[in-house]
Amino acid sequence: MATSLGLGVLVSGTGTNLQAIIDAIERGYLPARICVVISNRSDTYGIKRAKRCGLPTKVVLPTEFKSRAQFDNALLTLLTQHGVDLVVLAGFMRLLSKDFVHAFPDRILNVHPSLLPSFPGLGAQKQALESGVRISGATVHLIDEEMDHGPIVSQCAVPVYSDDDEDTLTRRILKQEHRIYPWCIKMFAEGRVQINNGQVVILNEPRVPDAVIQPSEYK
């Protein structure tokens, strides 16, 4: 019987975070296995990546269901059938119902391209640029019933430069998503995550030296 943490990865797009997770498992950094990769869109590059790696894949199209509840139920059935312990949203562009969230309590992770609670929702990078912040970043969190909300597992800050556009900022943030997402899943796989009063506690949390986060070179 498999004992490593079973992941169900939900994608809607290019799946670079999925790839980072696959790579982390392959190089022995992340003690987990991907049980199934599910997409709510046909023809996603994420599904192609999964197939290329020989992972089980499913496409579940919302248009084939009468209601959100039925669509979510179909997802839940697949995740359960495949023995999923932890649901990993990796660019999954769809809100999940209360019932779905309750079916995997504190077991659904999401990655978002901003330092939540700033800039939830679509276009997080555009929101950051328009607000004029000088620091943005990536957040991995457990989901609750609100959009882009729930206990934060980890965050990583990146600078925002005056000549950034959505594309440059997106790429800078995405690079960090690929670092912190596998790490967060590893914390779950190693049983090091506890939830206390709605907040995440990481057991034996590694420390970095106190640092001021600022653009690397002021001249």
Catalytic amino acids? 112
All residues at 6 or more sequence positions from 199 whose CB lies less than 8 Å from its CB, including other chains: 151, 152
Closest distance to ligand GRF from the beta carbon of 116 (Å): 11
All residues at 6 or more sequence positions from 93 whose CB lies less than 8 Å from its CB, including other chains: 12, 13, 40
Count of CA atoms in the C-beta half-sphere (13 A) of 177: 26
The alpha carbon of residue 31 and the mean position of all alpha carbons in its chain are separated, in whole angstroms, by: 17
Q: Which residue in 8, 91, 137, 182 binds ligand GRF (CB under 6 A)?
A: 91
Spatial CA neighbour of 114 closest among 94, 100, 130: 130
Stretch that binds ligand GRF, among 9-17, 62-70, 79-87, 161-169 (CB under 6 A): 9-17
Q: Which residue in 49, 112, 172, 186 binds ligand GRF (CB under 6 A)?
A: 112
Length of the chain: 219
Closest distance to ligand GRF from the beta carbon of 47 (Å): 11
Closest distance to ligand GRF from the beta carbon of 130 (Å): 17
Residues 184-203 that bind ligand GRF (CB under 6 A): none
Residue at shortest CB range from ligand GRF: 91
Closest distance to ligand GRF from the beta carbon of 203 (Å): 26
The alpha carbon of residue 95 and the mean position of all alpha carbons in its chain are separated, in whole angstroms, by: 14
Q: Strand 108-112 relative to strand 135-142: parallel, antiparallel, unpaired?
A: antiparallel
How many chain residues interact with ligand GRF (CB under 6 A)?
A: 14
Dist. CA 14–CA 212, nearest whole Å: 33
Q: Strand 86-89 relative to strand 199-202: parallel, antiparallel, unpaired?
A: unpaired
Dist. CA 167–CA 46, nearest whole Å: 20
Counting contacts by CB under 6 A, is residue 38 touching ligand GRF?
no
In terms of CB distance, is 73 or 152 closer to ligand GRF?
Answer: 152
- Interface characters, 135-174, with ligand GRF (x: CB under 6 A): ---------------------------------------x
Binding site for ligand GRF (CB under 6 A): 11, 13-17, 46, 90-91, 111-113, 174, 177
